[in-house]
């Protein structure tokens, strides 16, 4: 038997619950950290092009508005009002929003949990 098995054998139910709680909380912290890092990487260091214009009905995007409109005219696709949409900018905005929203949550937890523990 290793040390951990011996400890669990002699541990009370309260200690076992504490070990389980810390393990689950640690797993969530690691997964949330991976999620925030993923958002940050794609928000600020993505490998996608700076612009990618989309027109509904086309199966490809254009790197400029003019190229997207030219592809649509060549293929006979009608350009509806509001198109072409810069999808690269839109996705980047969503990733930046998600990253900073998650960072605000982390900052709030970092401020209010110690404050809650210290003020009694």
State residue 86 phi and psi, 5-degree precision: -80, 90
* Burial class of residue 54 in the structure, from the number of CB atoms within 10 Å of its CB (0-12 exposed, 13-18 middle, 19+ buried): middle
pLDDT recorded at residue 7: 67
**pTM strictly above 0.85:** no
The structure tokens 């198109």 sit at 83
Q: Tell me, what DSSP letter sits at residue 85?
A: E
Q: For every residue of 29-46, which 3-state class applies, written as one string? A: HHHHHHHHHHHHHHHHCC
Q: Is the pLDDT of residue 85 over 70?
A: yes
Q: Is the pLDDT of residue 64 over 80?
A: yes
Q: Cα dist. 115→2, 11, 103, 105, 109 in Å?
A: 39, 31, 18, 15, 10
């Amino acid at each position: 038997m290793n040390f951990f098995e011996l400890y669990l054998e002699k541990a009370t139910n309260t200690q076992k619950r504490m070990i389980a709680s810390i393990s689950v909380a640690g797993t969530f912290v690691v997964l949330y950290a991976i999620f925030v890092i993923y958002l940050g990487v794609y928000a600020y260091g993505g490998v996608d092009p700076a612009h990618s214009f989309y027109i509904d009905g086309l199966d490809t995007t254009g790197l400029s508005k003019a190229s997207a409109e030219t592809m649509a005219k060549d293929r006979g696709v009608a350009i509806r009002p509001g198109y072409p949409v810069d999808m690269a900018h839109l996705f980047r905005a969503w990733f930046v929003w998600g990253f900073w929203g998650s960072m605000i949550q982390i900052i709030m937890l970092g401020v209010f949990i110690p404050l809650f523990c210290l003020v009694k």
